[in-house]
Structure 1
Amino acid sequence: MECSDVELDLQRSVQAVLRELSAQVPALQSNQGMWRWSLHKKVERDPTKSPMLVRILLRELEKAESEDQRHVIIPLLHTLMYVLTKATGIPGELYQRTYAFCTRLLTLPTPYCTVALDCAVRLKTETAVPGTLYQRMVIAEQNLMNELYPYQERVFLFVDPELVSASVCSALLLEIQAAQVQQSPEACMRHVVAHALQAALGEACHVAALHQKLQASPRRILEHYFHAVVAAVEQVASEGSLSRAGYLERLEEIYCSLLGPAATTRQHQGGGALQEQPLSTPLPSPYITFHLWTDEEQLWKELVMFLRPQSQLRLSIDLEALDLQGFRSDRELARVSVLSTDSGIERDLPLGPEELPAPGSPEMERGGLQRKGGIKKKAWLPDCLTPAGGWDGPPGLHRRTGRPSGDGELLPGVSRLHTARVLVLGDDRMLGRLTQAYHRLRKRETQKFCLTPRLSLQLYYIPVLAPQESAAARQLELGELTELAAFLGRVDPWYESTVNTLCAAIHKLAQMPPSLDTPQAVDPFLLDGITYYIRMGSQPIYFQIYMVKVFFSDPSQDPVEDVFLTELKVKIQDPKGPKDGFSPRRRGVTESLGTELSLHYQKALLSHRPQNITVSLRATGLVLKAIPARDTEVSGTALCPPTATPVADHTCLNVSVTEVVKSSNLAGRSFSTVTNTFRTANIRIQSQDQRPLTLSLDKDSRRTFRDVVRFEVTPCPEPSSGARKSRASWLTSRGQKLMETTQAKPKPLLMPINTFSGIVQ
């Protein structure tokens, strides 16, 4: 059968996306990313193309599976799932084929099986209850309060005004504001009702009349039908209390009640016989808040304010310690574990929901002040509640890939109903600031324990550079300031094609003059790219955070501790270095070149055998890099294989030392510089001749330490490691051996950055 023009057009667009995945030009310097965006726009403008596009994507997926072209499987699968989330009227046969394909991928190693499992779970839910994925996404992203699905999400967009130009900030803010003007709560509720009825009733739904009726309905009526639709969907999707037939019957009742006699007339006319061109039900972009990062505690404050309005009403008496005050002294941290709370008296039994007294009443105060029962002991946080298990997932691997932890209950009565998606725009310097904020946040959590039980924290990163005057400076910045973005693009091709391409697009959009005739963006490319990344980027890659302890030449100045993520650069006070073949004429010149450094480090070996090395040399500078420059390295210095085992479980720094080498020949003595490289997990460096050093963290001139005589670099441990040691000491007072085993090696602090697939080999 010959293909139609529409199908050929979609096929060409899909092939263009596949060609982008095989392109060798870095996305940071190209115009990639437009084909994926235009493909989704085609089906958004004409929803009748959705089933055709699903068939094409399925055909390409099955072809890639048979030809073992794994590098295109995850991008095509994400593209397919994004279409299925928004579309209606997809035949059940296509859902079954997609589900069968995902189950076959479960035999592959990670990340393929991980992504396939997530897609299979969502497909099973959508097949049983059409419209569930769309409804849950809109309710969570737009914070539409509903008791049956109380989950809430928010996107926090952070931009450092010193690293990103004002024109870029204005361009982003313009697209965000233009989209949110059209996304009022009433509009989002209309979309949820219309999409659910379309997905369930199919051709029997009069789409034009439905949209017209919803548009004319007042807010009170709209809220009534919104809650009725959500209740019908969630009762089947979550509880399974209704059958598929009962679910369709319930939505048909809502449809007839909403349209009135028009719905009955429509059914008598033959359902879809006179069906008009289907109207597109848009998927609103997430609710995004734009922040200029000017305060060190800004991330913590925004997360607390996100949780505060709803959290104070949900706390039980026994969990009042988890209230979001967050600024009380540690001694006021209440107990979260009570060995015995049942006094055996009937009046002390917990009341039912209908018997609870009003907040602030004398009964509530007496219940909170006079409640006594059994022996109370200070509770130690279980492993599932520590930051390692709560936010970072499985610990141990440098740049490890995995899935974020689930949203289930961590403590009785406390569920993770909130998801904070923190998106940072900038270069490696912005990631350095995020690392500092993340470390402070985790350290504060070990003392207050306010956010972890209630919040799922997801981190996202889009590279953005300030425009430079010269092309040479531009290329230099691309190489120096986007090392982590380049690494993410190497290990995840879909991140390279979809996210890294936004860097060039943002600069082009910022250079365009604002249009006064069209204040609202018609097809916002940047916002759509950000939205796609936020929704589909669910596989984090874990990066080791390193801690540096700095000692100064002034003995009265206390040592300073800081953290870095990508790079630590050391310069000597005298920046002048020798040139190759340089022959000094007077003695003592070698003493003026660089400084004598003492290096003590533990060599990184795959065997994990400790090998301590101490060496003294004269150097003009050195650089410690945590991000590998090539993707051919293995394990601790670069990628972790998808099937990584504890054998590859070590964190490594690449150290490059510029050493001054003296040589003698017939012409006399000469001096040259040689760069030596080695790998280590920790290092201690000291200036022997008391010549001061200058340290720069994460390429940020604002994070510079001067007059340094010694510094130590180690993997940053979990802030809760000290608490776990105390717990071990208390529990093993009779068994010294177990205590020593527990204290042997603290867990490293890993920062996750979400990508589409994690690390692809």
Structure 2
Amino acid sequence: MESSDAELDLQRSVQAVLRELRAQAPALRSNRGMWRWSLHKKVERDPGKSPALVRILLRELEKAEREDTQLVIIPLLHTLMYVLTKATGIPQELYWRTYTLCVRLLTLPAPYCTVALDCAIRLKTESAAPGTLYQRLVIAEQNLRSELYPYQERVFLFVDPELVSPSVCSALLLEIQAAQAQQSPEACMRHVVAHALQAALGATCRADALQRKLQASPRRALERHFHAVVAAVEQTASEPSAAGEGHLERLEEIYCSLLGPAAAARGRCGGDALPAQPPSIPLPSPHITFQLWTDEEQLWKELMLFLRPRSQQHLSADLDALDLQGLLPDRELARASVLSTDSGIERDLPWGTDEPPAPGSPEPERAALQRKGGVKKRAWLPDVSHWAGPPGLHRRTGQPAGDGELLPGVARLHTARVLVLGDDRMLGRLARAYHSLRKRETQTFCLSPRLSLQLYYIPVLTPEKRASSRHLELGELAAFLGRADPWYESTVNTLCPAIQKLAEMPPSLDTSQTVDPFILDVITYYVRMGTQPIYFQLYTVKIFFRDLSQDSAEDVFLTELKAKIQDSKFPRDGFSPRRRGAAEAPGAELSLSYRKALLSHRIREVSISLRATGLVLKALPAGDTEDHTCLSVNVTEVVKSSNLAGRSFSAVTNTFRAANVQVQSQDQRLLTLWLDKDHRRTFRDVVRFEVAPCPEPGVQKSKALWLSSHQQQEAERTKAKPKPLLMPINTFSGIAQ
């Protein structure tokens, strides 16, 4: 009776998640995101409920497949895989049913088949060696040393202190610090060993005695058992057909060495009463570094510091053929950020101080790259455009270049998950940093061979009136991601009010109570399961000023460029004021030249002149997620009319789509530009500006290297257009059609 009641409770929770996903009325979406979080907490507190929840999710997936309800397929798949990663004691029959279902889902269009394929691959590995997904996740996220699985991951949480309130920063930092204080390397190794043995041995494993023994084991013995378990699981996962028979025997030997042969035999024979409910094995949250983004070069420095400690131990000799300029960080890059709470970077350094060792010391001779004797050959500079996904239209779903190989024998062993909090202004800052990172990479080429860069975004808006236009304007990209991916809308966009409420709550005086970290749990779920990016086109703007001695400026933007006519008028010779009482037309005469955006991709140039008070260039569509790549130009035109009362003027907004735009003031009126709604990115006294898709920095670099004559330049210029620079932002499904 109790088991049926527990299963009914899980069924109601799953139905609540699905109702919330389908709900369109705001009244039914007041607690968005809480149902999914509470569902995972139920099985985390009681691991024995995991098989029942897997069966319920499987039934809902099979029902969605029969009824062709594609809206719930990806959320159910992610929920199911998250449960299977944590759980132990799942029957092989459930693994097979889930794998067979994922194979059938491969007939669906993208992104459903993409997510189903990823789930099928992971399920096949997990069914061959239970506990593999948990083990690999903990090793990578906690940076545990393992030769058989050397991958490392780190989450960089960037917050702009000028855009996010200090109370929100403090609340997030305290929650992260409280969680990581309980995640020592010894505790994580104990979790890996206990999870692998419970997943393999099942009901015969004395989980309570095993965890007590692991808790009492010294560090050296714990490391020995940890490496033995990792070796056994990885060997079976890599060669399931050859090593599957001896997998259970190897783990039983480790189990007997921990508890002793007599205690292990009593557990297998049922001599001791096994506990009705095995103790829960937590899945530690990923290693998160909290960064206050105050330096323009901070992203580059943090990524270099992340690569430096371990990169020199895992680089292939094939990298010696490349001219990797600036691979070893200089003194400036070796300085850690004083705003970071990350204590693991300096501890893993091969030397003890922030300064590099002396050139004559033996340590750099072993760790640094050394060019061998012989003929120095100029190596081909590979294209790094894979960072932004496949070429083509933006706002598309694609699989990021993950742990594959860019160069022969050089695998990406590091994954940097860059998570930004804020509004559209923060995303504009991320776009600038991403463009600078890609531009610098064409010169050094030291990050892309070894680093998989993943970008994530959680909207955090200022606590203004929710109906205010400014509040809605700063959250345009978050609204677009929510329309494109309903699971992102239901899971991530809910954090905006939740983070504000958490920051406004007074701190708890009772330290004995344990509070579930809701914000950190949702962040963890997002960075783990959000693997499908949506690609956004970056646009470059070239700005010319009134002062001819001032050099032109160049910048990039992601969401919006706004231009307005300055109030002051540029003085000119022979200027005479109009007679008193005459109505002067507002705005300025503007000359616009643009290439019309057509679905046929035909080139159609348009030039017009009009009087306007300003214009706004938006790179995001207002509603339709299937809109093609273009700029939406909104011009506030001044229309003159005459009547009996005299001359009057009215404002009319005209909208058109363009691939690129050139704007120039004709009557010496000056313009003021704002990029990505950020007052810190303001340009004044502008007379002309040009906007076009931002090209790939690597494409221009390769042309400059190899072209040597005017004929070759003309041939290369007419051969192909430069690829546009696309910035990926990870979601759960990409654009769900």
Q: Same fold (TM over 0.5)?
A: yes
Match of 2:444 in 1: 448
Which residue among 423, 427, 441 is the counterpart of 1:427? 423
The answer to whether 1:415 aligns with 2:411 is yes
The DSSP-based 3-state class of the residue aligned with 1:53 is: helix
Match of 2:716 in 1: 739
8 Å CA contact retained: 1:326, 1:450: no
8 Å CA contact retained: 2:431, 2:557: yes
- Residue 275 of structure 1: how far off its partner (Å): 4.0
CA distance in 2, matches of 1:534, 1:448: 28
1:280-679 correspondence runs (5 A): 280-315=280-315, 316=317, 317-319=320-322, 321=324, 324-325=327-328, 360=362, 371-373=373-375, 376-382=376-382, 386-389=383-386, 391-468=387-464, 471=465, 475-518=468-511, 522-574=515-567, 589-591=583-585, 593-631=586-624, 634-636=626-628, 651-679=629-657
- Residue 514 of structure 1: how far off its partner (Å): 0.7
8 Å CA contact retained: 2:583, 2:647: no
CA distance in 2, matches of 1:434, 1:681: 23
Match of 1:70 in 2: 70
Match of 2:356 in 1: none
The DSSP-based 3-state class of the residue aligned with 1:400 is: coil
- Residue 585 of structure 1: how far off its partner (Å): 11
User: What letter matches 1:509 in structure 2?
Assistant: L
Which residue among 703, 710, 722 is the counterpart of 2:681? 703
Structure 1 residues 282 and 225, CA, compared in 2 at 3 Å: closer, same or farther? same
- Residue 692 of structure 1: how far off its partner (Å): 0.8
- Residue 378 of structure 1: how far off its partner (Å): 1.9
- Residue 571 of structure 1: how far off its partner (Å): 1.1
- Residue 327 of structure 1: how far off its partner (Å): 6.0
CA distance in 2, matches of 1:516, 1:303: 38
- Residue 478 of structure 1: how far off its partner (Å): 3.1
The answer to whether 1:721 aligns with 2:699 is yes
- Cα offsets for 1:522-562 (capped at 9, x unmatched): 21000000000000000000000010111111111110001
- Cα offsets for 1:9-63 (capped at 9, x unmatched): 1111011100111122569984310000000000000011000000111111111
The DSSP-based 3-state class of the residue aligned with 2:324 is: helix
- Residue 318 of structure 1: how far off its partner (Å): 3.9
Structure 1 residues 140 and 4, CA, compared in 2 at 3 Å: closer, same or farther? same
- Residue 400 of structure 1: how far off its partner (Å): 1.8
CA distance in 2, matches of 1:240, 1:2: 38
Match of 1:752 in 2: 728
Calculate the TM-score normalised by the size of structure 1.
Answer: 0.87
8 Å CA contact retained: 2:397, 2:734: yes
- Cα offsets for 1:193-232 (capped at 9, x unmatched): 0000000000110000001100111111100000000011
8 Å CA contact retained: 1:28, 1:500: no
Percentage identity across paired residues of the two chains:
74
- Residue 360 of structure 1: how far off its partner (Å): 4.3
The DSSP-based 3-state class of the residue aligned with 1:406 is: coil
CA distance in 1, matches of 2:100, 2:64: 15
CA distance in 1, matches of 2:254, 2:186: 18
Structure 1 residues 286 and 363, CA, compared in 2 at 3 Å: closer, same or farther? closer
Choose 224-233 or 394-403, whichever is displaced more.
394-403
1:188-337 correspondence runs (5 A): 188-240=188-240, 242-267=242-267, 269-270=269-270, 274-315=274-315, 316=317, 317-319=320-322, 321=324, 324-325=327-328
CA distance in 2, matches of 1:246, 1:617: 79
- Residue 174 of structure 1: how far off its partner (Å): 1.1
Structure 1 stretches of 5 or more lacking a match?
Answer: 329-357, 577-583, 637-650
Calculate the TM-score normalised by the size of structure 2.
Answer: 0.90
Choose 90-99 or 491-500, whichever is displaced more.
90-99
Structure 2 stretches of 5 or more lacking a match?
Answer: 332-359, 570-577
CA distance in 1, matches of 2:27, 2:436: 33
8 Å CA contact retained: 2:205, 2:268: no
CA distance in 2, matches of 1:306, 1:361: 19
- Cα offsets for 1:385-425 (capped at 9, x unmatched): x2212x11202212121011131222244221000000000
The DSSP-based 3-state class of the residue aligned with 2:416 is: strand
The DSSP-based 3-state class of the residue aligned with 1:574 is: strand
8 Å CA contact retained: 2:424, 2:677: yes
Give the root-mean-square deviation of aligned CA atoms: 2.8
- Cα offsets for 1:597-645 (capped at 9, x unmatched): 00000000011111100000000111111111112x6431xxxxxxxxx
Match of 1:641 in 2: none
- Residue 708 of structure 1: how far off its partner (Å): 0.6
Structure 1 residues 378 and 326, CA, compared in 2 at 3 Å: closer, same or farther? farther
The answer to whether 1:688 aligns with 2:685 is no
Choose 27-36 or 205-214, whichever is displaced more.
27-36
- Cα offsets for 1:703-760 (capped at 9, x unmatched): 1001111000000001112123245636x99978853443x31000000000000001
8 Å CA contact retained: 1:481, 1:699: yes
8 Å CA contact retained: 1:208, 1:276: no
User: What letter matches 1:482 in structure 2?
Assistant: G
Match of 2:338 in 1: none
- Residue 313 of structure 1: how far off its partner (Å): 3.6
The DSSP-based 3-state class of the residue aligned with 1:589 is: coil
Match of 1:137 in 2: 137
User: What letter matches 2:550 in structure 1?
Assistant: Q
The DSSP-based 3-state class of the residue aligned with 2:220 is: helix
8 Å CA contact retained: 1:31, 1:504: no
The DSSP-based 3-state class of the residue aligned with 1:760 is: coil
CA distance in 2, matches of 1:364, 1:36: 49
The answer to whether 1:102 aligns with 2:105 is no
- Cα offsets for 1:437-484 (capped at 9, x unmatched): 10100000001111010100000000002223xx36x64343110000
- Residue 238 of structure 1: how far off its partner (Å): 1.9
- Residue 326 of structure 1: how far off its partner (Å): 5.1
- Residue 371 of structure 1: how far off its partner (Å): 1.3
- Residue 587 of structure 1: how far off its partner (Å): 6.8
8 Å CA contact retained: 1:235, 1:242: no
Match of 2:15 in 1: 15
